[in-house]
Chain A
Amino acid sequence: MDLTVIILVEMLYAVASLILISAGLAVVFGMMKVINLAHGEFMMMGGYATITAVNLGVNIFLAMLVIAPIIVGLIGLVVERLVIRHLYGRLVDTMLATWGLSLFFIGLATMIFGNTTTGISTPIPGFAIGNYQINGYNFFIIVVAVLLLVGMLTILKSTRAGLIARGAMQRSDMAAALGYSPDRIYMATFFCGSALSGLAGAVLAPLVGLVPTSGGAYIAKAFITVIAGGPSLIAGLFSSAGFFGIVNQVFTFAISPVIGEVALLLAAVVLLRLLPQGITTKFFKGKL
């Protein structure tokens, strides 16, 4: 019984962390069709921003939830102004440019923080469920992921800014004709996407040992989740993260963590064979 609860929590945690890892990419890729290969490095910078802030004496939750997203968002803003905005609509060129950026950020982080592992400990103690101990921080990640999805849904669906953003993504020429500057909207969207990546890196930082190359570990999973999700931003994110998270954990518990990762990749291959455009072309069609 206790084990069932633990497995359930671990599954929710796996789904939540996939949602966190992919949210920033979903905004940048899903909405703007920019393939940001530096996504993992944005997360890495979120982690370093958190650790630096905590070491300077800032409250850890403030550092994770406010400071890191803002810093990474601002970095994203600079990147958008200097590089990305010249490359909208040129898929392959953005790939090359953002890959270069990712190497640049790894080098920069190595110069500033050195090539050693750093980290902070989790702010929430573990607690017992029956005979089992569980990491209390898992619940925090689940809560953050839920709030993130709800927040994104609310903004995109019920605010004017969300409506304008969605409009500009669908038909930028019409949005421009109605008096909105697509250039500005893209800029703001890229800022939000980067901030979300920063948030993910920050929230996951206490669980890992951070090195400048840490970003590489996230990028593949993030792309798989976003691409398998399909055209609907939030429904796609939720459904593919849910599917992959559960597949991953079932095989992890049944066999081993390595098989869990393999199962995730196999599931992605099969899924994309059956639904090449992503889950949300068949299910939750037309949803946000």
Chain B
Amino acid sequence: MSLNRRNFLASTAALAGASMLPRVAMAADTIKLGSILDTSGIFDAYGKPMDMAMRLAVAEINAAGGLLGKQVEVVAYDTQSDMALYSQYGQQLARQNKVDVVHGGILSASREAIRQTMRKTKTPYFYNVLYEGGVCDRNIFINGVTPAQQVEALVPYAMAKSGKKVYILAADYNYGQITARWIQKFVADNGGETVGVDFFPLDVSDFGSTIAKIQSVGPDLVIAPLVGGAHLSFFRQWAAAGMKDRIALASTTLGVGNEHKVLTPEEGNGIMVAYNYSQELDTPANKAFKDRWAAAYGDSNLIHETAVSTYQGVLTWAEALRQAGSMDRDALIAALESGLSVEGPAGRITVDPKTHHAVLDVHIMEFENQGMKVIETLPQRQPIDTQAVCDLSANPNDNTQYEIEI
């Protein structure tokens, strides 16, 4: 057979058409949910339970008949706690797998690595982690607590229990710096005084001199937004110095990765925290969630704050899709911006139309025998920090992470 240009074009076009057929067919009968999480490497303590939560939510949606009459298919990538892999797999999810939605990202750096890709490719993106606040982008939905939601609840409670003089120990990067500023603001608002602020790089693990310094200042309360394994040493050394019964201690991070199960009861008991979720939350929704988790994975020990956020993120997306009634991104965003709410294991979560952050319950808790005992529930807190800088209904083309001035 002689190969002229017309023959060649015709046959290649046919081939290309044939190879595209199964894809088109597949895209027609499943909805693709892209997931991008660190399920190995140093952040896997966060990422693994988040992955389990995402898969549990999808399995439940599929068991109930799927969405818009289609099954949900998970396309998951493990970024191995390597920020470089986020941009690579983010591109792959959006451009190659052409997923309909992306859930994931853990550190703020990982979120920023993929956020612009999702925006450009018009792939709706759900970031399900508590973080420092301020992201303003119409394409992203965030359902973790922000510093203001947490600190606004924690500071008055902790000060009422201890006293007016507060000392802050924070991790030295944007989360710690921003959170420390919010703590100072709310301490002042509640008639207190910040008597000292110290920042620590993430690898500092010796807090002996700091503990002596705190005593020489003599505060009533220490608030510690410290992050990671090395910083856990502070809580150990604080207890070892016998300080636990002398000065009250609160944290905005301890327990997110189930750290309260690492500290012994003598070291942990009485530390005050505030989050959206606790395994000890005594509600029928949480009990049922823990039972379903245990049925799927053996036991429910691994559930933590960001895992529940991920679960609630998938629920929110699914509910929006049902209301939108189509796979169109703008219809989905419109449904989410209609003030949509879902009931999750940690209570009601409402999408704030102005900021795409979440209005949610914040629970004030105290560590008790390696659990987090719920003391008080503050229902439906607004993300006031991000609301102060971000208004997507007035300015839908905004695409910034604001550093919030206080």
Spell out B's residues near A (CB within 8 Å). 40-42, 44-45, 172, 198-201, 203-213, 215-216, 229-233, 236-237, 239-243, 246, 257, 259, 262-264, 266-267
Contacts and interface: CB of A to CB of B under 8 A. Distances in A.
A117 B229 contact: yes
B212 A10 contact: yes
Contacts of A6: 212, 215
Given A17-B206, A119-B262, A258-B200, A208 B236 contact: yes
- Mostly, the A contact residues are mixed
Interface string A179-211: 000000000000000000000000000111111
Given A126-B243, A209-B229, A258-B201, A118 B236 contact: no
B236 A121 contact: yes
Contacts of B231: 209
B229 A214 contact: yes
Contact of B45 (A7, A116, A122): A116
A253 B230 contact: no
Interface stretch (A63-71, A127-135, A268-276): A127-135
27 contacts: A115-B42, A115-B44, A115-B45, A116-B45, A117-B45, A117-B229, A119-B262, A121-B264, A121-B267, A128-B242, A133-B211, A133-B215, A135-B208, A207-B206, A207-B237, A208-B230, A208-B233, A209-B230, A209-B231, A209-B236, A209-B262, A210-B229, A211-B229, A216-B203, A253-B209, A257-B206, A257-B210
B265 to A, nearest CB: 10
Contacts of A14: 206, 208-209
Interface residues of A, number: 46
Given A10-B212, A121-B239, A134-B212, A258 B45 contact: no
B212 A257 contact: no
Interface in A116-152: 116-122, 124-128, 131-138
Contacts of B246: 133
Nearest to A211: B229
Given A208-B233, A209-B233, A121 B266 contact: yes
Contacts of B242: 125-128, 133, 135
A64 to B, nearest CB: 15
Interface string A1-12: 001001100100
